[in-house]
Amino acid sequence: MNRTILVVALAALGAASLMVTGCAGGTSAAEKPMGVWGYVASADNAKLEVADVQTGVNDLVVDSVLAPGDSWIVVHADENGKPGKRVGLQHVSKGESTAVKVALKNLTTSDVIVAVHADRGTPGKFDFDMMKKEMSPDRPYFVGGKELASVVAVR
Amino acid sequence: MTTDTTHKVLSLSVVGMHCGACEKLVSMNASKIDGVVSVKADAQTGIVIVEVEHEVSTDDLIGAVIDAGFTPGDPFVMEEAEAAEGETAPAQDALRGASSPAEPVETPRAPASEEGAVSPSVPEPVPESDELEDTTFAVGGMTCASCVAVIEKTLAKTPGVSSSAVNLATERLATTFDPAIITDEKIAQIVANLGYTATPMEAAAPHSDTGKVTLVLTGMHCASCSGLIEKVLGKLDGVKSATVNLAMETGVVEFDPAIVGVDEIIGAVLGAGYGATVKVEATSGIGSGADLQRESQAKAYSAEKRMFFFSVAISIPLLLIAMIPPFMTEVPQRLAELLAATVGGAWAPMLLGKYLMFVLATVVQFTAGRRFYKGAWGALKQRTGNMDTLIAIGTSAAYFYSVAATFVPALEMEPVFYETSALLITFVLLGKLLEARAKGRTSDAIKALMGLAAKTARVVRGGEEIDVPVEQVVVGDVVVVRPGEKVPVDGKLVDGSSSVDESMLTGESIPVEKNAGDTVIGATINKLGSFRFRATKVGADTALAQIVKLVEDAQGSKAPVQRFADRISAVFVPFVISASLLTFLFWGFAGPAIFGANPDPNAAGLLFEPVLMSAATNGWWIAALLAGIAVVVIACPCALGLATPTAIMVGTGKGAQNGILIKSGDALESAYKISAIVFDKTGTLTHGKPEVTDIVLAEGHDVTRVFTFAAALERNSEHPLAEAVVNRAKSDGIEIPEVEGFSAIPGHGVEGTVMGMRVAFGNRKLMARENINIDAYEPEICRLEDEGKTVMLVGVNGAKLAGIVAVADTLKENSAEAVARLQSMGVETYMITGDNRRTAGAIARQTGLDDAHVLAEVLPENKAEEVAKLQAAGKVVAMVGDGINDTPALAQADVGIAMGAGTDVAMETGGIVLIKNDLRDVVTAIQLSRATMRKIRQNFVWALGYNTILIPIAMVGLLSQVPWVAGAAMAFSSVSVVTSSLLLRRFKPSMPELAKTAA
């Protein structure tokens, strides 16, 4: 019995070791597969409600945002479905905020992506670098495995 | 100290003494020097106390020690003190004991007395009493040679401890200490303080020829009853003392087992109207201490196994979370979702993953890895390092760096290596587990020997035969043995006869006939007959227990070659830590300078690809840290520490299985270097008993007639030559008639009237005196004499020679074969004897020895000198002998080989004892020694080669991406060394095979 357990344990350890050796080529934090790289929140604690068509406005209005902590409403230019340069930023406090206006600047695309990011770096300073996004402290919230964000048509 | 001094007392250090015979040799030699007043040598401490007059020079004393065959220590004169007559000098106290046990005793660090009795330039020896005690401890928790050094060094500095030797393979510590200064409990405590466990096994019990039994008495009511029983027992012949304890209802009886037995003692008590049974006591028989050790080792093994499985159970999930997709993303994410749903807020999966790994790794680090911290702390307290130090440093570096990267906000985004620390610990535990299993098998031989002991015995008590556990058999018991049963203890046959298979102890496959008066040995198997014998040796005194103890002691002893490993171990850990630091600093500083801050992994070939890849993904300092960790972990001092003792264990065990008792690692090691062997003649090469070898008949006479005459005249003589003649007559079935008018003529022979005829039996002079002409037989007589035989002539009626009887000590069957084999192995063979050159030459020719190698007419006291002469010629000499007269030569030789049938003192002095008395075992012993030393060298090559190859591999950063592989490699290293030693179990003696081939 003991021998069987020992053999099984050794086999498991050996198999795991082999798998790891196979994977050992480049597994650092920076290279780990991208899954949820922001902050995970539940739908009860994090919500974003925004009208998806607000054409011609200079100040985008977010109808309601429920933030699990102090946060940022971040507006990115929509570059083929991916967030591009930042065109708007507004700080919101923990809890629910309604009718939050976000001024849009340097807008070049017809659509924008509105997302909610945590304010976990220096308070009041947006600490987010698109090039090192998963290592930046003010990363976005994720609910149900998806980023808490909406696409809004503004032009 | 008074100023009226007349003598000096010197405390001398002498290396190589190991028994009473050695002490005597040194004492005898030193006493011969003019001016030496008294000498007292102690083999255990290696100290010789000499009281001398002032004019005796140190050179003379050194000469005496060298002449005795020993080596003067360095420094030779350890202490010198003036001694007034009638006073005890401090140096003498070292052996005599400075104070009574109740008095406080000065430690060796105490300052010298003001009078300057002790030279301040030499260390003061610990004052010891005469009664030094030996205790063996089972030691747990040792991992490598450094652990051995830590314990030995600490005990060497402990007041009262004369010597200590730790064997890593047997996990035993043998100590000799002065009970007046320190106790075994205190020694165990000191070892425990170092981070190891120490359980005292058995202390050497004093042996006694007196039987002693404790009886449980019933039916006593008052002091008169106890007095009565004492009186009754006191009247029994052979009872030396009887003490009855009324309160405890026991009686302790000391008696002479040769005169009275336990059965008679119990019978006497029963006869007085009381009840009596033998009290069951835990006797210190075979392996009571060893059982204790095995039990504790089994417990430790189970605990280690549990810890390993626990470690595996935690390391595998840790590994999955750390490195295996999709676990590395899914598990933290699910956990974050769970927390968000239950606790609220928002959770970063990456950090949660770190926390999770922190929890798992912390459990492994401080539960499974606790032993490494404990061991490392023990070593640190002694300002040394061991394997635990290396593992503790390596795993701590990975673990604490990861803790910082988890909880220090500035490092929060840095990668962690929790899996490295946990997997390292798991792999090292696995290695230790496999090593323990393999080590257990190295003592299989001793376990097999112990398994030979009988469990029960049928003894006669109160006139009835009852089965009792063998532990309850006491000296004097009459034991009944039926066909097919094991003889439970040693004893002497009193009734019946049988043949007994003694092969398990002697290797001799032919059963030995036993009749009344013969001795039987415990653990041998009775074949067909039944017999009763009186127990003479029980428990720890039986031959089997003594053999087991001898082999255990040998397995526990340290071979000189071990010093090589000890020397390396002393510098190994500091070297490895330095190499690790160097690796870390080199890659940290030089890495970016040579390969750039963001290196291309493929830029410098395969050798540097791992470290460059690690630097590219994690940065240079982390790559440097991982390379440093790999260096410190991959180094394996364990393999070095196990190389010698495991091979010695298997070698000595294999020897015991073949009837060769190798008494120390020293003897086993020396045997492989033997270049010359000196055989004692009588009793070693020959049977040691004269036999009739030739009969020459005169015309008209026959053998029966000649032996009738000769045996009749010699029947009452105890001379060995006479015994040979009478034995021959008896074996031929000749009826020996009475003699009339017998007379012995000194220097001539004997004469008398046999069957009405006047017969003379003796030498030429007797024949001349009887006017018997032997001229016609002279050539024949000279031929026999040239063959080294003693020629005796039988003359009848003062007129005619009836025949010639030649008697000689004959060669043992296997002597010539053994000598031939030794010569073919390149070993020079010599014979030494006190006999005349002609007799010696005859035996030498039969044995195949070169005439030039016959050392004849050597007085017993000069045998050691002859051995020393060969040693002086640069030869490594083994002496094979059996008698007391061989003892100095056995002690003088590099290896003393004693015959098992020889005297006790010879066996005590010899480093190797041949139980079967078969000289072919000399060949086997040398072959076994050579095989063992070859194995030790292989182990060293493996252990050193492993470290020499893998440390540089780790230093160049080849393991930077998988530093825990270093742990697995290290585990493999020590397991492979033990497994290599186990291969020695395949050793087979070549001589019996040769014999079969010849047949």
pLDDT digits (tens, 9 = 90+) for B41-82: 776 566 788 887 777 777 888 877 777 666 677 677 767 776
Which of A103, A105, A74, A104 has the alpha carbon at shortest distance from A91?
Answer: A74
The pLDDT, as a whole number, for residue A30 is 38
Q: Confirm whether A16 is domain-assigned.
A: no
With beta carbons under 8 A apart, name residues in chain A contacting B323. Answer: 20, 23-24, 27
Q: At what angle do helices B920-955 and B562-585 cross, to 10 degrees?
A: 10
- Residue B72, both tokens: 């003067």
User: Which pLDDT belongs to residue B613?
Assistant: 83
Of B761 and B859, more confident: B761
* Residue A4 pLDDT greater than 80, yes or no: no
Grade residue B4 by pLDDT with cuts at 50, 70 and 90. Answer: very low
Beta strands per DSSP E along B168-210: 172-177, 197-203
Q: Would you state the structure tokens that stand for residue B470, as one six-digit string?
A: 């063998």
- The partner residue sitting opposite A26, judged by closest CB among B324, B413, B617, is B617
pLDDT, tens only, A14-49:
554 444 444 443 333 334 445 788 999 999 999 999
* Structure-model confidence comparison of residues B877 and B858, the more confident one: B877
How many angstroms separate the CA of residue A82 from the nearest CA in chain B?
Answer: 22
- The alpha carbon of residue A138 is apart from the nearest alpha carbon of chain B, in Å, by 11
| Distance to chain B for A122, nearest Cα, Å | 12
Q: What residue in B sits closest to A44 (Cα-Cα)?
A: B341
Is A75 a member of any domain?
yes
Answer yes or no: is A20 within a domain.
Answer: no
Residue of A nearest to B623 (CA): A28
Question: Taking the CA of residue A123 as centre, how many other CA atoms within 13 Å lie in the half-sphere pointing to its CB?
Answer: 4
pLDDT at B671 over 60: yes
Whole-Å CA distances, B452 to B286, B442, B489? 10, 18, 11
Q: A41–B346: do the CB atoms touch at under 8 Å?
A: yes
pLDDT of residue B294: 65
Q: Which of A147-151, B469-473, B858-862 has the lowest mean pLDDT?
A: B858-862
Q: Report how far residue B971's alpha carbon sits from residue B144's, in angstroms, rounded to the nearest whole number.
A: 12
In sequence order, which residues have a C-beta less than 8 Å from that of residue B689 and are 6 or more positions away?
A: B720, B724, B809
Write the DSSP symbol of residue B367. I
Which of B346, B419, B962 is facing A118, going by the closest CB pair?
B346
Give the separation between CA B312 and CA B318, rounded to whole angstroms. Answer: 10
CB within 8 Å: A69 and B341: no
Please write the tens of the pLDDT for every residue from B367-391: 999 988 987 887 787 677 777 888 8
Q: Greater confidence, B546 or A73?
A: A73
Residue B959: the pLDDT is 80
| Cis peptide bond upstream of B75, omega within 30 | yes
Query: Taking Cα atoms as reference points, which of B882, B840, B843 lies closest to residue B857?
Result: B840
Residue A18 lies in a domain: no
Q: How many residues does chain A have?
A: 155
Chain B residues touching residue A17 (CB < 8 angstroms): 423, 965, 968
Please check the confidence at residue B939 and state whether its pLDDT lies above 50. yes
Highest mean pLDDT among A145-149, B225-229, B279-283: A145-149
Q: What is the Cα–Cα distance from B94 to B178, expressed in whole angstroms?
A: 11
> Could A12 and B305 be called an inter-chain contact, meaning their C-beta atoms sit closer than 8 Å?
no
Say what the pLDDT of residue B74 is.
67
Confidence of residue A108 (pLDDT cuts 50, 70, 90): confident
Q: What is the pLDDT of residue B89?
A: 39
- pLDDT for B355: 94
Section B460-476 average pLDDT? 83
- Residue A116 placed within a domain: yes
Judged by CB atoms within 8 Å, which residues 5-44 of A form the interface with B? 5-6, 9-10, 12-13, 16-17, 19-21, 23-33, 35-42, 44
pLDDT tens-digit map of B320-347: 988 787 888 889 999 999 999 999 889 9
Domain membership flag for residue A126: yes
Contact criterion met (CB below 8 Å) for B482 and B465? no
B743-780: pLDDT as tens digits:
888 778 888 898 888 899 988 888 988 888 888 888 99
Confidence of residue A98 (pLDDT cuts 50, 70, 90): very high
**Taking Cα atoms as reference points, which of A42, A8, A62, A41 lies closest to residue A118?**
A41
- Between the CA of residue B443 and those of B50, B63, B64, B170, B691, what are the distances in Å? 43, 42, 41, 8, 44
Query: What residues make up the domain containing A53?
Result: 39-153
Nearest-neighbour CA in chain A from B441: distance (Å): 16
Residue A76 falls within a domain, yes or no? yes
Please give the pLDDT value at position B523: 86
pLDDT (0 to 100) of residue B292: 58
Q: What is the ipTM of this complex?
A: 0.80
Q: Examine the pLDDT at B995 and tell me if it is beyond 70.
A: no
pLDDT of residue A92: 95
B4 is catalytic: no
Q: Is the pLDDT confidence value at A131 over 70?
A: yes
Considering only residues 109 to 128 of chain A, which have any Cβ-Cβ distance to chain B shorter than 8 Å?
Answer: 118
Only one residue has tokens 């009626």, namely B797
Q: Which residues pair with B40 in a beta bridge?
A: B49
pLDDT tens digits, residue range B96-113?
A: 333 333 333 333 333 333
Contact list in A for residue B961 (CB cut-off 8 A) is 24-25
Amino acid at B816: A
Nearest CA in chain B to A94: B345
> Which of A19, A20, A135 is opposite residue B413, by nearest beta carbon?
A135
Q: What is the mean pLDDT of residues A71-92?
A: 92
Gap from B618 CA to chain A (nearest CA, Å): 7
Strands A71-79 and A111-118: antiparallel
Averaged over B476-494, what is the pLDDT? 89
Say if residue B20's pLDDT is above 60: no
With a pLDDT cut of 90, the percent of chain B lying above it is 14
Residue B744 CB coordination number (10 Å) = 12
Contact A29 B328 (CB under 8 A): no
Name the residue among B312, B333, B350 with its Cβ closest to that of A13.
Answer: B312
What confidence category does residue B511 fall into, taking pLDDT thresholds of 50, 70 and 90? confident
Using one digit for the tens of pLDDT, what is the confidence trace for B541-550? Answer: 888 887 777 7
Mean pLDDT of the residues in chain B: 79
Cα separation, B282 vs B290, in Å, equals: 14
CB contact under 8 A, B312 and A25: no
pLDDT tens sequence across B787-818: 878 889 999 887 788 999 998 888 888 899 99
Q: Who wins on pLDDT, B496 or B432? A: B496
Q: Residue type for B530, please?
A: S
| % pLDDT > 70, chain A | 77
| pLDDT range class, residue B461, cuts 50, 70, 90 | confident
Quick one: closest CA in B to A12, which residue? Answer: B316
Confidence of residue B86 (pLDDT cuts 50, 70, 90): very low
Counting the structural domains of chain A, the total is: 1
- Number of residues assigned to chain B: 999
Inter-helix orientation angle B145-156/B184-193, to 10°? 130
Q: Is residue A23 part of a domain?
A: no
CA atoms within 13 A on the CB side of B263: 18
Q: Do A35 and B329 touch (CB under 8 A)?
A: yes
Cβ within 8 Å, pair B617-A24: no
Are B309 and A5 a contacting pair at CB < 8 A?
A: yes
Q: If pLDDT is split at 50, 70 and 90, which confidence band does B172 have?
A: confident
Taking an 8 Å cut-off on Cβ atoms, the answer to whether B341 and A42 are in contact is: yes
Q: pLDDT, tens digit, for every residue of B290-318? A: 565 566 667 778 888 899 999 999 999 99
Q: Which residues in B have their CB inside 8 Å of a CB on A? A: 305, 308-309, 312, 315-316, 319-320, 323-326, 328-330, 333, 336-337, 339-341, 344-350, 413-416, 419, 423, 426, 430, 613, 617-618, 961-962, 965, 968
Q: B330–A35: do the CB atoms touch at under 8 Å?
A: yes
Contact criterion met (CB < 8 Å) for A28 and B415: yes
Residues of chain B contacting A65 with CB distance shorter than 8 Å = none
Report the distance separating Cα A106 and Cα A89, nearest Å.
12
Nearest Cα residue in chain A from B622 = A28
Of B315, B323, B340, the CB nearest to A41: B340
Surface of A (84-113) touching B: CB under 8 A: none
Q: Residue B570 and residue B579: Cα distance in Å, rounded? A: 15
Q: Check A141 against B618: CB less than 8 A apart.
A: no
Round to whole Å and give the CA distance between B153 and B156: 5
Q: Determine whether the interchain pair B348/A38 forms a contact, defined as Cβ–Cβ distance below 8 Å.
A: yes
Percent of chain B exceeding pLDDT 70 equals 84
Coil, helix or strand at residue B807: strand
pLDDT band at B868 (very low <50, low <70, confident <90, very high): very high
Q: Which residue has the tokens 């007269």?
A: B885
DSSP for B47-92, written as a single string: EEEEEE-TT--HHHHHHHHHHTT-EEEEEEEEEEEEE-TTPPPHHH
pLDDT of residue A87: 93
Task: Calculate the alpha carbon distances from B727 to B685, B710, B734, B742 in Å.
Answer: 22, 11, 10, 20
The answer, yes or no, to whether the previous bond of B206 is cis (omega within 30 of 0) is no
Given the residues B184, B680, B835, B886, the one annotated as active site: B680
Question: Which is it for the CA torsion B352, B356, B362, B365, positive or negative?
Answer: negative
pLDDT value, residue B510: 67
**E strand residue ranges, A1-121:** 39-41, 47-50, 59-67, 71-79, 82-92, 95-103, 111-118
The whole-number pLDDT of residue A21 equals 43
**CATH number of the domain where residue A58 is located:** 2.60.40
B433: nearest CA partner in chain A:
A6
pLDDT at B420 over 70: yes
Subunit contact B326:A10, Cβ cutoff 8 A: no
Give per-residue pLDDT as tens, B978-991. 888 889 888 888 76
At B94, the amino acid letter reads A
Q: Give dist(CA B128, CA B106) in Å, integer.
A: 10
The sign of the CA dihedral B530, B532, B533, B535 is positive
A25–B316 CB contact, under 8 Å: no
Instruction: Identify the band that residue A151 occupies on the pLDDT scale cut at 50, 70 and 90.
Output: very high
Distances (CA, A) of B892 to A73, B70, B878: 97, 8, 9
Whether residues A44 and B326 touch (CB distance < 8 A) is answered with no
Per-residue confidence (pLDDT) for residue B659, from 0 to 100:
83
Closest partner residue to B344 (CB to CB) among A10, A30, A45 is A45
Highest mean pLDDT among A3-12, A45-54, B593-602, B895-904: A45-54
| Partner-chain residue, chosen from B325, B341, B962, that has the shortest CB–CB distance to A24 | B962
Question: Which residue in B333, B346, B617 is closest to A141 by CB distance?
Answer: B346
Give, to the nearest 10 degrees, the angle between helix B837-847 and helix B778-786. 70
Report which DSSP code applies to B775.
G
Terminal-residue alpha carbon distance, chain A: 73
The winner for highest mean pLDDT among B178-182, B241-245, B352-356 is B352-356
User: Model pTM greater than 0.80?
Assistant: no
The per-residue pLDDT for B765 is 86
- Nearest neighbour of A45 by CB, restricted to B324, B340, B416: B340
- Residue A138: closest CA among chain B residues belongs to which residue? B348
Q: Please report the pLDDT score of residue A138 as a whole number.
A: 92
Mean pLDDT computed over B207-219? 67
